[in-house]
Structure 1
């Protein structure tokens, strides 16, 4: 009988295979699991409601998606492109340099930035493309390379600098895990070790972005 509780997994597999609505499939799978496990429908609703209330802050992230979409539709991307076109000295690489620095500084002060959604797609990528087109049209390959570099600049800045804030979850996890393994290390020590890593990462990004600018300019 205990295998009946696995019916929820079967519902998820079938639902995803048929391309049905993800949220509906997950809720139905949870309901099936609850019913075959002896949990009545009212209790299931209570558990579902409590879980949503306890984790409601997580759902706030999804509010940013339509907000960014509306902003783009009403001219956010166009305004960013117009701004870059007026600044002749900016290049794609220099834009990436500035953004990576901002990303690392945000990590230093513990500021959470969902870069790919809020900045890369609506701002950094179109700004970099506009800067690349100042001296002429770009090839399709160059456009794709700028898109990739824009996404990478966010990943570099976030990944290699995320432990710069002494109270960040990753720093606390590292410290507590090392302590549990018998190697006590303070959170400040984790930050100190991260500083040279973040600096080296930024220097390498500067060099790569400079080489990228020269490559695009040479292609003109």
Structure 2
């Protein structure tokens, strides 16, 4: 039972909102020590895991670049740019991004994700669109927009990626069904994913349109009061 202490460490770390990477590493080291491994063996396992997933290093390399861009005004420039576009709304910005993200995922083109794209670019643009339309945008509305911006990435990436015939998810589905005795081809899975991707896009479009209605109703009401 004590070997599950790593799970407890992760739960406590997440509850206290501590640094995610540090919490996970500490949990891994403690779990290894409890399991009878020494520090050399633990770090050897971590190093081998990192080497086997070298694509993660690309993610780590992008972080300081994005940090520098944000430091020198990327978010502010994105916000100001979107404010200068007439008839722009938060919902329209997110709808356009969802379409682009889903098409990119369908052709196996990566746009980065939440950290590399949503946080420094899409969210500031969505916030800028709201600020262009409402003078009384509050912290609560900003948090709502932040959530919808993150959701647009999830909709586009998650439901669009299996449209690509060689996507990892497609191959996983083919392999899993094959083990269950159900023979399908990657092309069949890809074709079956197309209507799901379309439905997801329609749903996201409706949801983002409703976001515009929600912001308009709340902020215009607050303005009149």
Report the TM range for the smaller structure's normalisation.
0.7 to 0.9
1:113-152 aligned within 5 A = 113-137=111-135, 138-152=137-151
Distance 1:122 1:97 in 2: 18
Distance 2:99 2:84 in 1: 22
1:56-95 aligned within 5 A = 56-95=54-93
Distance 2:158 2:6 in 1: 36
TM-score, normalising length from structure 1?
Answer: 0.80
Distance 2:208 2:11 in 1: 41
Distance 1:127 1:106 in 2: 19
Distance 2:124 2:92 in 1: 14
Distance 1:48 1:83, change over 3 A: closer
Q: Structure 2 regions of 5+ residues with no counterpart?
A: 221-225
Distance 1:144 1:205 in 2: 18
2:223 alignment counterpart: none
1:34 alignment counterpart: 37
**Contact 1:92 1:131 survives alignment (8 Å):** yes
Distance 2:63 2:110 in 1: 16
How many residues align? The count is 210
Q: Structure 1 regions of 5+ residues with no counterpart?
A: 1-5, 36-40
1:173 alignment counterpart: 172
Q: CA deviation at 1:114?
A: 3.4
Secondary structure at the aligned position of 1:183 is classed as coil
Distance 1:77 1:43 in 2: 43
Q: CA deviation at 1:125?
A: 1.0
Distance 2:183 2:76 in 1: 52
Distance 1:64 1:8, change over 3 A: farther
Q: CA deviation at 1:55?
A: 3.5
1:91-110 aligned within 5 A = 91-110=89-108
TM-score, normalising length from structure 2?
Answer: 0.78
Distance 1:14 1:44, change over 3 A: closer
1:157 alignment counterpart: 156
Q: CA RMSD in A?
A: 3.0
1:17-50 CA distance string (max 9 Å, x none)? 7989544664576467334xxxxx8777766655
